Amino acid sequence: MKRENQDYDFVVIGGGMAGVCAAIAAARQGCRTALVQDRPVLGGNSSSEIRMHVCGADYFCNAGARRETGILEELRLENLARNPQRSSAMWDLLLHEWASREPRLSLFLNSVALEPLMRDPAHIQAVRVRQLAAERELVLSAPLFADCSGDGQIGAQAGAEFRMGREAAAEFNETLAESAADRHTLGSSLMFMARDMGRPMPFVKPDWVPSFPSDAALQHREHGRYQFGYWWIEWGGQLDTIHDNERIRDELLKITLGIWDHIKNHGDHGAQNWALEWVGMLPGKRESRRFVGDYILRQSDLESGRIFNDEVAYGGWPIDVHPIEGFNSPEYPCRQIQVPLYSIPLRALFSRNIANLFFAGRNVSASHIAFASTRIMATCALMGQAVGTAAAVCHARKLAPSQAAQSAIELIQQRLLADDCFLLGKKNADASDLARQAGVSAGSFKPGYEPGKVTDGVARPYRDDEHCWESAPLAESGAWLALTWPQAVTIRQLQLTFDSELEKRLIFSQIDSIYTDPSILTAMPGRLLKHFELQMRAASGWETVRVVADNRQRVRRELFDPPLTTDAIRLRCKAAYNYPAARLFEIRAYA
């Protein structure tokens, strides 16, 4: 076994959506970051090993611009452009590319985090990691760590306080909670995929698989489509979802094949030509440990849409509780209670007793009832980006997470806003943003969409205001917007935030029927600006300094080396994907 010691600024355990976004965010802000993932691919429950779609606050159609942005929006827009075939393997590859291209990020796949090495009872010094196939053992040292692994093994071994199970209603005055606390959790699921082969395809049930001979055996379980599996194939909530994981997987396999036998061989389901193409062997786990932070999120926070002073992320998926018996329950497989958008405080994302431990994902500091909403992957991605950003600030200022939540929270929030993360109660107040000092003008604008909207501090529709400039039709000559300063400024970066139609769902799913819904994006957003030019005012007039002909991102960061020196910058809009005018939410300028 080859042994190595490596030093980092920040070590992230777990390569699901929370861990990926945490590691990328920290690396982009200057932290030498290690991302440790025990599987060969990134993405967690969204990866090709499990194939669950990334859901979030945009669950409700016609509810406004609720979709998550930031790093997750980058990934989903790029996937929409590059993966129209909706291949799970291509999603894996995209996540790998996004992590691997960060120069300050070291990616360790097929790497099991074995144990923390403690400096003292309140501080992790390093994590011991093993790559079995490479016969390597690594000791990764850092001043800061994040357990984004879901199960939270490293945090638990370090002694971080955690909960597992359901709280009693009286503890947090939660009307949806049980009267008495217990150890039960949401169960795990296995997914499958099937394909119409165009000819009869028999299925012979193995002897070890149970029979479900009638639809009565699948009460309240809709099974009228066969292309992609059913989230309600759920089991294990009455067991220990960590230590009984193998038993849960075996039982889920039996249930999955029994349901397929029912579809194929019992009743007229119209599935004669359908055949199984893939059956997952790795359970998609919903719940296990939940760490305890300086604050525990609870039902009332979600239902009231509470905005915390230390907000760093938001959620909006319903409170989604399932019967603990899972598939064996005669009840409906879930009960969903709608909630408004609510904020998530930084105090729920670090340990209250391990001083240098962050966490993000389904293991954050929340009651079982609040967790039933925060566990969703798009929300986890936002929490991950928040943790990575906070870790970078902690490292630069030599702060513990709890100290940062008190003394550096405004800086963390402004960095998140600059990185296109939406915060419910905050606006852009970045003193280094030169656009806030500029005059804004445009060649044309639609009433209610004045050019000044692009520096009002909000980069999406919110609270009955579009916060957006919209031009006259692009075919006319007035599709431009300009920033003007009273004297020349130096500009090294311009940041533009375009309209990627946040009121629509941007979901990556194997279910064809989902994409018949007009509220779901199936191609690049029509209002997204595709072709534009950036110009600077020189002594001889306007000079073009950048041409972008094939944009496919909501946020563009255009760097200039050497920097520009000018008293005016102009955006000339040439074409959107499928919209007659140009739309811009925000422009920023940095020296």
The three-class DSSP label of residue 555 is: strand
Q: Which contiguous run of DSSP H or E holds residue 563?
A: strand 555-576
Q: Which domains does the chain have, with CATH numbers?
A: 2-165+287-418 (3.50.50.60), 188-279 (no CATH), 434-590 (2.60.120.260)
* Tokens, residue 175: 């009307």
Give every CB contact of residue 479 below 8 A, 6+ residues apart in sequence.
443, 444, 471, 472, 473, 572, 573, 574, 581, 582
CA–CA distance, 530 with 500 (Å, rounded to integer)? 11
Length of the chain: 591
With the C-alpha atoms ordered 346, 352, 356, 358, is the resulting torsion angle positive or negative? negative
Please return the burial class of 552, using the count of CB atoms within 10 Å of its CB with bins 0-12, 13-18 and 19+.
Answer: middle
Residues 6+ away with beta carbon under 8 Å from 281? 49, 190, 249, 253
- Write the CB contacts of 92 (distance below 8 Å, at least 6 apart in sequence): 41, 42, 43, 47, 48
| Alpha-carbon span 378 to 385, nearest angstrom | 11
CA 342 – CA 336 distance, rounded (Å): 16
Q: What's the rounded Cα separation, in Å, for the pair 343 and 154? A: 27
> The tokens of 205 are what?
């049930």
- CA distances 78 to 91, 95, 303, 333, 445, Å, are 10, 10, 33, 34, 29
> Prior bond to 562 cis, omega within 30?
yes
Q: Give start and end residues of each alpha helix (H) in 293-339.
A: 299-303
For the chain, helix, strand, coil in percent to 5 are: 25, 30, 45
pLDDT tens sequence for the chain (591 residues): 899 999 999 999 999 999 999 999 999 999 999 999 999 999 999 999 999 999 999 987 667 899 999 999 999 999 999 999 999 999 999 999 999 999 999 999 999 999 999 999 999 999 999 999 999 999 999 999 999 999 999 999 999 999 999 999 999 999 999 999 999 999 999 999 999 999 999 999 999 999 999 988 898 999 988 899 999 999 999 999 999 999 999 999 999 999 999 999 998 899 999 999 999 999 999 999 999 999 999 999 999 999 999 999 999 999 999 999 999 999 999 999 999 999 999 999 999 999 999 999 999 999 999 999 999 999 999 999 999 999 999 999 999 999 999 999 999 999 999 999 999 999 999 999 999 999 999 999 999 999 999 999 999 999 999 999 999 999 888 899 999 999 999 999 999 999 999 999 999 988 888 888 888 999 999 999 999 999 999 999 999 999 999 999 999 999 999 999 999 999 999 999 999 999 999 999 999
What's the confidence (pLDDT) of residue 61? Answer: 60
Structure letter (DSSP) for residue 214 = S
* Contact (Cβ atoms closer than 8 angstroms) between residue 165 and residue 185: yes
Residues 124, 107: Cα–Cα separation, whole Å: 20
250-256's contacts with Cβ under 8 Å and 24+ in sequence apart are 252/188, 252/189, 252/190, 252/283, 253/190, 253/279, 253/281, 254/208, 254/209, 254/210, 255/190, 255/210, 255/327, 256/190, 256/192, 256/229
Name the token pair of 445: 């604008």
- Cβ-proximal residues to 112 (8 Å cutoff; 6+ apart), any chain: 38, 129, 130, 131, 132
Residues 585, 314: Cα–Cα separation, whole Å: 20
Token look-up 């992230």 returns: 12
The closest alpha carbon to 305, from 292, 293, 291, 315, belongs to 315
528 within 8 A of 551, measured Cβ to Cβ: yes
Six-digit token pair at 282? 């790795």
Beta strands 144-147 and 357-359: pairing type? parallel
pLDDT, position 62: 65
Amino acid at 171: E
- The whole-angstrom separation of Cα 70 and Cα 418 is 9
Which secondary-structure segment (H or E) carries 565?
Answer: strand 555-576
Q: What's the confidence (pLDDT) of residue 399?
A: 98
